[in-house]
Amino acid sequence: MLNMPKYEKIWLAIGTGALVVFLAVTGIMAVSMCLNPPNGMNMAIKPENVEATAPFNSPGLKKIGPNEYRATIISYTFGYKPNTITVPKGATVHFQITSKDVVHGFMIPGTTTNLMLIPGHVAEYTQTFNEPGEFLFLCHEYCGIGHQAMYGRVIVKNTV
């Protein structure tokens, strides 16, 4: 090794060893546990064609089963389309969301719904709403000067 003091060699070895261990553990976990980029991004469309591509050509809430719904949502600069959906108490909602311009977020505080919306990639998540009330959904990825105004609502009623 280079002409270095003993302690520098020791710290260099510790740092290199820690880096090798970190990369090995990350690689092993990614392969053995089938870890992938953000969950639910199994479909991609050209961002400029989002509004012309099914199902995003008619965003909104559709009933797909008994007390089960699919919410197709488009995020765009400082807004969501639609920005309000209403479901009955106990409803299971399958969110299907994409962005047509920049990276946005979709988070419903107080639930486990937390998605990153990458332009053209379709993010999917399922959430059951067991309590009536109004749930705010908001963008938690900074997307520009009007970011603070980017939010919507899920209204959960005892009956629809």
Q: Which mean pLDDT values do the consecutive 10-residue runs of the chain (160 residues) have?
A: 83 94 88 62 77 88 92 92 93 93 91 89 92 92 87 87
Q: What confidence score (pLDDT) does residue 35 get?
A: 61
Q: What confidence score (pLDDT) does residue 85 get?
A: 94
Q: What confidence score (pLDDT) does residue 28 get?
A: 86
To which residue do tokens 């419903």 refer? 108
Q: What confidence score (pLDDT) does residue 18 get?
A: 95
Domain boundaries in the chain? 1-35, 43-157
- Asked whether the beta carbons of 127 and 112 are under 8 A apart, the reply is yes
Q: What confidence score (pLDDT) does residue 147 get?
A: 87
| Cα–Cα separations (whole angstroms), residue 2 to 6, 24, 63 | 11, 26, 69
Q: What confidence score (pLDDT) does residue 37 get?
A: 55
Q: What confidence score (pLDDT) does residue 2 get?
A: 67
pTM: 0.72
Q: What confidence score (pLDDT) does residue 38 get?
A: 52
DSSP letter at 119 equals B
Question: What architecture is the 43-157 domain classified under in CATH?
Answer: Sandwich (2.60)
- Asked whether the beta carbons of 118 and 99 are under 8 A apart, the reply is yes
